[in-house]
Amino acid sequence: MYKLNKSHGDGSYNLSDFKKIDPSVVFEKNVLVFHPENITIGKNVYVGHNTILKGYYNNELIIERDTWIGQNCFFHSAGGLIIGSSVGIGPCVKIITSVHNDENTSIPLIRNPLQFKQVTIGDGADIGIGSIIMPGSRIGVGAIVGAGAVVTEDVPDYAVVVGIPAKVIRYRKERCQ
């Protein structure tokens, strides 16, 4: 029988539990926060209803200033998660920073060790409703991720990506040479 790990808690928190949090941050009703001691949130950040900020016992979740996070999002920061400033994140976005290694097929996948890979979202990026950002992805400065896209690799600065897996369809402006 597979042994379960101990609980991460019930998601309740006090502002004093955070590594750092600006007093201007707004948490709507039913936001759950796990391991706030590894979470830093900057000025003027909005976190929508029913969002889960799943800090982890190691690595950090950093949300820079002036970022807006829609309702029903799920952020898992086991591999580290950095969200830049002035980022828009639509409702129901999922950001994942760990995945089970799939090399050992003699045991169930869930028993394989986890691989941790940081996700970084650049300043001014916009992540569309229902998108999924997979471990190790970097979303560039000013990039747009279309609704429902699944990002499995890096997105260049100012790129617009859509689809499963997400592919570049255009650029918002000329890229720097």
- Residue 27: CATH number of its domain: 2.160.10.10
In a domain, 157, yes or no: yes
Give the C-alpha separation, 54 to 61, whole Å.
8
In a domain, 5, yes or no: no
Q: What is the pTM of this model?
A: 0.92
Residue found under tokens 């991720």? 145
What does the pLDDT read at residue 125? Answer: 98
Closest-CA residue to 99 (of 119, 82, 83, 85): 119
In a domain, 3, yes or no: no
In a domain, 93, yes or no: yes
What does the pLDDT read at residue 10? Answer: 83
In a domain, 125, yes or no: yes
What does the pLDDT read at residue 4? Answer: 54
In a domain, 176, yes or no: no
In a domain, 26, yes or no: yes
Q: How many residues does the chain have?
A: 177
Q: Would strands 159-162 and 167-171 be described as parallel, antiparallel, or unpaired? A: antiparallel
| Tens digit of each residue's pLDDT, the chain (177 residues) | 345 566 778 889 889 999 999 999 999 999 999 999 999 999 999 999 999 999 988 899 999 999 999 999 999 999 999 999 999 999 999 999 999 988 888 988 888 999 999 999 999 999 999 999 999 999 999 999 999 999 999 999 999 999 999 999 999 976 544
How many folded domains does the chain comprise?
Answer: 1
In a domain, 10, yes or no: no
Q: Which domain holds residue 145?
A: 15-171
